[in-house]
Amino acid sequence: MKIIIVENELYLAQSIQNNLSEKLNAKCEIYASYDEAIDTNGDIYIVNTNLNGNIEKLIEEKKDKIILLLAPYVTYTSVTQPIKLGADDYLQKPFSIEELIRKIMHLREYYSLKKKTQKLEKFIETILEDIEIEKNYDFKFPMFIKTNYIKAVDKLVFEYAKNNNLDIIIIENENISDIELNDNVIYYSKQTIKNQKTLTTLSKYNTIIIVPKEFENNIPNYNLVEIDIAKKSFLDDEILSIEDYIKFIIINHQNKFPDTELSKKLGISRKSLWEKRKKYGIIKQK
């Protein structure tokens, strides 16, 4: 961990350096101005807000790093504006080393969790990216969904939660007494919900419930949606017929390859490929 200390009070800067080097095993460098620090490459920047120069430029350059302000007094210029520009937090002088270390540890944990969350979101997006949902659905809750492909609903729920900055609460069973349901997307995907009391309770919230094909209920004002996806994955451990396989390949790859190459890969003529499209009702997007 490399910490850049931007401070012109030499005694204070050296005290911070000694303590962080000892207690956090950090490599620390001291700079007396914003201009000197701008060409550095640290993990954490501890910056006095009361120096001459352009602090805005330093924050703009280092806003992807941890930036902790040291402010002699709290004003819009010294604290509020730098935080709006990208600084993370501040300490008002005088402060204790213990408080400085606590804030550093907190911000390191926050950034670590933020990176993990971003990686997990990217991982989920990659898993779901090949699933195409052609229709835009009206999210009127509670939303009951009949589907032939649960992964399509997974993508629907994930994108709705992400676009609306909501958490997803996945219900694994019908015991919901200990679950915080407010201000989240509630997702029940087991297709086995039978308890009318549970159903009634979940229907009071932003709930998406996958239900069996034969599902009927007496809850008023619900939104029942059917999602049928022709595009299925071979990762479902099912064995497809030759015709289903050809249909799958055409739907999934006709926009990636020209007809000459696609028909060659399938071992059929271009005329046969045209006939297959007509038979399956597949329209090639231009």
Model pLDDT for residues 271-281, shown as the tens digit of each residue: 899 988 888 77
pLDDT at 39 over 90: yes
Burial string for 31-50 (b: 16+ CB within 10 Å, else e) reads: bbbbeebbebebebbbbbbb
How much is the mean pLDDT over the chain?
A: 86
Is this prediction's pTM over 0.85? no
CB contact at 8 A, 276 and 286? no
Residue 239 per-residue DSSP state = P
DSSP SS3 for 196: helix
pLDDT at 45 over 90: yes
Answer with the residue of higher pLDDT: 138 or 1.
Answer: 1
Q: What is the phi/psi pair of residue 33, to 5°?
A: -145, 160
Within 10 angstroms of residue 146's Cβ, the number of other Cβ atoms is 17
Span 24-37, pLDDT tens digits: 999 999 999 999 99
Burial of residue 109 (number of CB atoms within 10 Å: 0-12, 13-18, 19+) = exposed
Mean pLDDT, rounded, for 257-286:
84
| Contacting residues for 153 by C-beta, under 8 A, at least 6 apart | 145, 147, 189, 208, 210, 227
H or E element, residue 105: helix 97-128
pLDDT at 232 over 60: no
pLDDT at 92 over 70: yes
pLDDT at 233 over 60: no
Mean pLDDT, rounded, for 119-128:
89
DSSP SS3 for 204: coil
DSSP SS3 for 78: helix
Lowest mean pLDDT among 6-15, 38-47, 92-101, 124-133: 124-133
Span 144-160, pLDDT tens digits: 888 878 888 899 999 99
Give the pLDDT band of residue 188 (cuts 50, 70, 90).
confident
pLDDT at 109 over 70: yes
Answer with the residue of higher pLDDT: 135 or 187.
Answer: 187
Mean pLDDT, rounded, for 55-70:
96
Sheet hosting strand 27-31, strand order edge to edge: 27-31, 2-6, 44-48, 66-71, 89-92
What is the pLDDT, as a whole number, of residue 276? 87
